[in-house]
Chain A
């Protein structure tokens, strides 16, 4: 057993005792935990289930290319939550405007779609109904919605409006989702490196 460990270059492992092993495991767990909590913190700040998304299609060219990373903000639903008079136009939360770019999921499908708002109905006392269209598409999104659905519900289906972006960075995510085994490999390598190092 000792000779095998030496051959593999893992002789460090032999000298580890339970508390040391726990400490190394804790290091790895804290890295994962902190990354996850930062993500959740962003989620809570933006009030969106997914505050950072990657553009998957070319339907918003030339504004966004495939692989761009988008930052979302979901605190602009523009609804008066109390049963009272509608909020004035000059209020701080005017709600989603026509011309804003929003990201939405169709109920039942998991892919986030990034398109521009071209029409808007209702709102203020009820959630906005939005009609969207990709800049690079000929027709509006009525074909993408579920059957008999002609408008998006701002509250239920839209996960935020785009407030910033970084080009190209998201390509890594696209790679990882098209080849899921990459995720396991990356995590495995990370785990090994952290546990074997003692800095």
Chain B
């Protein structure tokens, strides 16, 4: 088993990021296929804006200011429009989502949230089974799956995930 990296126990954002990272491999072993559409669209919008900036830089560098004035005006407007779009996408559409996956017709959307300076990990699960959607929330302190030295312990986190997602906790109904 590879040596899991140590996480800074005093940084809530480090803890949250490490936990979010652990969701994907575990969901994969459960048979869920991850959907990367949201991330891909965000990257597309972002890199288009950067391409516009790069093109503006190139034309301005090679042709000088006078000739590229009009193009620069349009490029600036386009860039800031794309940036606003990107911000809206990241804040409103992507929001807190850390995992979107599907298995045998069951679609699952996981959103994670931690309050500032609070060591509690809140997981919101939205699942769609046969057209019916329901949302559940569950929370647990990070101490549930990080040991005293900062190493991530898999088993308790997997159990927490299983119990949080109703669709997969049914066959193994545990009373917790």
Contacts and interface: CB of A to CB of B under 8 A. Distances in A.
| A and B associate in one complex | yes
Contact of A33 (B3, B36, B79): B79
Nearest to A26: B46
A33 B13 contact: no
Given A26-B43, A26-B46, A40-B75, A34 B83 contact: yes
A199 B49 CA distance: 21
B21 A37 contact: no
B11 to A, nearest CB: 10
Contacts of A29: 46-47, 50
B17 interface: yes
Given A26-B46, A199-B13, A36 B72 contact: no
Interface string B1-23: 01101100000010001000100
B73 interface: yes
A99 interface: no
Interface string A17-45: 00100110010011011101100110110
Given A14-B5, A41-B76, A26 B69 contact: no
B151 to A, nearest CB: 12
Chain B facing A: main interface SS: helix
Nearest to A198: B17
A11 interface: yes
A157 to B, nearest CB: 12
B3 A2 contact: yes
Contact of B72 (A15, A22, A23, A44): A44
Contacts of A44: 69, 72-73, 76
A11 B65 contact: no
A61 to B, nearest CB: 30
> How many B residues are at the interface, by size bracket?
20 to 34
B57 A36 contact: yes
Interface string B126-145: 00000000000000000000
Given A19-B39, A34-B83, A199-B13, A40 B56 contact: yes
B65 A49 contact: yes
A46 to B, nearest CB: 11
Given A30-B50, A49-B65, A198-B13, A37 B5 contact: no
Interface in B25-53: 36, 39-40, 42-43, 46-47, 49-50, 53
B49 A23 contact: no
A12 interface: yes
10 contacts: A2-B2, A26-B46, A26-B50, A34-B79, A34-B83, A36-B57, A40-B76, A43-B72, A44-B73, A44-B76
